[in-house]
Amino acid sequence: MGSLRGKLSHTLGVRREYVSEFDPTLPVRAKHGDEQAFIGIVEFYYPRCLRFARNMIGSEQDAEEAVQDTFVRVHDSFSRFDEDSRFDPWLFRILANRCRTLMARNRRRQSLIEYGEIPISASAEPEVGADWAEEVQVVLNSLPMEQREAFLLRHVEDLSYEDIAAMTGVGLSALRMRVKRACDTLRARLD
Amino acid sequence: MIEERDELVDRAARALSAMSPVKAGAVARVLMAVRASKVRPQPAWKRSVRWLEDASVSARAAGMLVAASLVVGFVLRGTVDVAGYSTQALSETPVALQTISDAGAESRGVPVAMVFELANAKSVAVVGDFNGWDPAATPMQRVGEDGPWSATLLAKPGRHTYAFLVDGSTLVADPLAAKATSPDFGGDASVMMVRTP
């Protein structure tokens, strides 16, 4: 095992994939005060929540803040979690609310930016030569917030329309329309 | 309404499905934030709402609890200091851990982020006196397809011995931490100090 020396953790900023399996008992145990269960939830969902927040907000730093706030609120609100309900929609409802709050804060900040200091990320057109993922992100950022959120929840986070409707309080047909319009825009801009 | 998905939308969704990089110690920082929110005094209206929500708590008991929490909150504010194991490991100093300290550290344990690299392992778990050397208590998760192994555990403040259990059978001491001079379990082990403020 001598070969291990010096190999430990140069890993800040590494990519983390899903933890392979989620123990469905974790939310109930965490609700009843099992802190190791709460750690298990954070370990499992952190990467996925970070992905959603990054896609929604467009800023890595703000995304991390949104995710951290989300888990604080999850921990504080566990008494209101219905044990017979699925955990994902409840978690993503809190996360989506945090993202909206941060985006509103950012909009207020941006309104204070003087002419000539508009950030590059405000550009709505894909840059020539940008790779595919960047182009997709630019088009996504140009979508109205409601369409972006509905598209991400449905097609990236793979939640059902019924779950998204329960989370957001928006009717099924309106949700489908938001997703459809998002897809139409992606198609028109990326094709 | 027609199904909105097609090949191009699928490609876009796949591009957006890439996971964001997660910084080592992120989970420990979340736990830190959770605990920090507990010691922060709440506004008066929130305390009132919570008291009203819990009809089983008498007014006298609630008042005492609020007063006590205020005292604890003011005493402990600003004492929180967080850093992950991996940050310490990067500096290659012999002490294994930096710690997160908060009001509940004595009773609940301090969140400690651990990262261990062994490319060809099939499974890794952290075992130590803080989890009764239980191989199932703290499994580590692989970061990416061939990245390091990561876990967050709770350890009470003080000195702890620990090791990494590789593939369920081989105990490996932490190569960058101090060696335990008298391991509790008869094999290689390391020492970490989990500190309070």
Same domain for B100 and B181, yes or no, is: yes
pLDDT of amino acid B178: 82
Residues A66-84 have pLDDT tens digits of 999 999 999 999 999 999 9
Angle between helix A60-77 and helix A35-57 axes, rounded to 10 deg: 140
pLDDT of amino acid B4: 65
Asked whether residue A14 is assigned to any structural domain, the reply reads: no
Contact state of B5 with A183 under an 8 Å Cβ cutoff: yes
pLDDT of amino acid A114: 45
Same domain for B69 and B160, yes or no, is: no
**How far is A100 from B195, CA to CA, in rounded Å?**
38
pLDDT of amino acid B59: 35
Average pLDDT, chain A: 81
Taking alpha carbons only, the member of A78, A88, A79, A89 closest to residue A24 is A88
Q: Say what the ipTM of the complex is.
A: 0.76
Taking alpha carbons only, the member of A169, A167, A15, A174 closest to residue A91 is A167
Asked whether residue A5 is assigned to any structural domain, the reply reads: no
Same domain for A132 and A104, yes or no, is: no
Same domain for A60 and A30, yes or no, is: yes
Q: Which of A114, A137, A154 is the last residue of a domain?
A: A114
Per-residue pLDDT for A140 more than 90?
Answer: yes
Same domain for A141 and A100, yes or no, is: no
B23 touches chain A (CB under 8 A): yes
Q: What CATH code is carried by the domain that includes residue B94?
A: 2.60.40.10
pLDDT of amino acid A89: 93
pLDDT of amino acid A165: 93
Q: What CATH code is carried by the domain that includes residue A141?
A: 1.10.10.10
Same domain for A29 and A109, yes or no, is: yes
A6 vs B171, more confident: B171
Same domain for A130 and A106, yes or no, is: no
Taking alpha carbons only, the member of B123, B120, B131, B126 closest to residue B155 is B131
Contact state of A14 with B34 under an 8 Å Cβ cutoff: no
Same domain for B123 and B174, yes or no, is: yes
Tell me the pLDDT of chain B (197 aa) as tens digits.
Answer: 555 678 889 999 999 988 766 776 788 888 888 877 765 555 555 544 443 333 333 333 434 433 333 333 222 222 222 233 332 332 222 233 333 444 455 667 788 888 888 878 889 999 998 888 888 888 888 877 777 788 888 888 888 889 999 998 888 888 778 888 655 666 678 888 887 74
Asked whether residue B100 is assigned to any structural domain, the reply reads: yes
A105 touches chain B (CB under 8 A): no
pLDDT of amino acid A92: 95
Contact state of B27 with A43 under an 8 Å Cβ cutoff: yes
Range of the domain at A110: 20-114
Same domain for B60 and B91, yes or no, is: no
Beta strand B190-194 pairing with B158-166 = antiparallel
Same domain for B72 and B164, yes or no, is: no
Residues A97-137 have pLDDT tens digits of 999 999 988 877 665 544 444 444 444 454 444 588 888 99
Domain total in chain A: 2
Contact state of B19 with A42 under an 8 Å Cβ cutoff: no
Per 3-state DSSP, what percentage of chain A is helix, strand, and coil (rounded to 5)?
70, 0, 30
Same domain for A39 and A86, yes or no, is: yes
B22 touches chain A (CB under 8 A): yes
Partners of A47 on chain B (C-beta within 8 Å) are 19-20, 22
Smallest Cβ–Cβ distance between A14 and the set B6, B15, B147 belongs to B147
Same domain for A30 and A110, yes or no, is: yes
Same domain for B119 and B62, yes or no, is: no
The residues that bridge with B125 in the sheet, in sequence order, are: B139, B165
Residues A148-188 have pLDDT tens digits of 999 999 999 999 999 999 988 899 999 999 999 999 999 99
Same domain for A91 and A157, yes or no, is: no
In order of A188, B152, B175, the CA distances from A126 in angstroms are 13, 40, 47
B73 vs A140, more confident: A140
Same domain for A105 and A135, yes or no, is: no
Contact state of A43 with B8 under an 8 Å Cβ cutoff: no
Residue entry with tokens 């950012």: A106
A191 touches chain B (CB under 8 A): yes
A140 touches chain B (CB under 8 A): yes
Q: Which residues of A16-54 are buried (b: 16+ CB within 10 A; e: fewer)?
A: bbebeebeeebbebbbeeebbbbbbbbbbbbbbbbbbbb
pLDDT of amino acid B192: 87
The interface residues of chain A toward chain B in range 110-139, judged by CB-CB distance below 8 A, are: 132-133, 136-137, 139
Same domain for B86 and B72, yes or no, is: no
Query: In angstroms, what separates the C-alpha of A115 from chain B's closest C-alpha?
Result: 31
Range of the domain at B131: 26-33+80-194
A98 touches chain B (CB under 8 A): no
Residue A7's pLDDT band (boundaries 50, 70, 90)?
very low
A4 vs B7, more confident: B7
Contact state of B1 with A176 under an 8 Å Cβ cutoff: yes
Same domain for B124 and B159, yes or no, is: yes
In order of A51, B129, B176, B180, the CA distances from A60 in angstroms are 9, 37, 31, 40
Per-residue pLDDT for A32 more than 70?
Answer: yes
Asked whether residue B6 is assigned to any structural domain, the reply reads: no
Contact state of A7 with B117 under an 8 Å Cβ cutoff: yes
Q: Which helix (H) or strand (E) holds B35?
A: helix B26-39
A7 touches chain B (CB under 8 A): yes
Tokens of B182: 């008298």
**How far is B51 from B62, CA to CA, in rounded Å?**
7
Asked whether residue B7 is assigned to any structural domain, the reply reads: no
A143 touches chain B (CB under 8 A): no
Contact state of B118 with A136 under an 8 Å Cβ cutoff: no
Cβ neighbours of A79 (radius 10 Å): 8
Same domain for B94 and B49, yes or no, is: no
Burial of B159 (0-12, 13-18, 19+ CB in 10 A): exposed
Asked whether residue B10 is assigned to any structural domain, the reply reads: no
Smallest Cβ–Cβ distance between A186 and the set B9, B145, B154 belongs to B9
Same domain for A97 and A135, yes or no, is: no
Do residues A92 and A52 lie in contact, with contact meaning Cβ atoms separated by under 8 Å?
yes
Q: Which helix (H) or strand (E) holds A9?
A: none
A189 touches chain B (CB under 8 A): no
pLDDT of amino acid B186: 63
Same domain for A107 and A132, yes or no, is: no
Beta strand B110-116 pairing with B149-155 = antiparallel
Asked whether residue B17 is assigned to any structural domain, the reply reads: no
pLDDT of amino acid B100: 40
Contact state of B13 with A155 under an 8 Å Cβ cutoff: yes
Same domain for A27 and A106, yes or no, is: yes
A53 vs B79, more confident: A53
Domain total in chain B: 2
Same domain for B190 and B99, yes or no, is: yes
Asked whether residue B8 is assigned to any structural domain, the reply reads: no
Task: Please provide residue A156's backbone torsions phi and psi, each rounded to the nearest 5 degrees.
Answer: -105, -45
Same domain for B47 and B112, yes or no, is: no
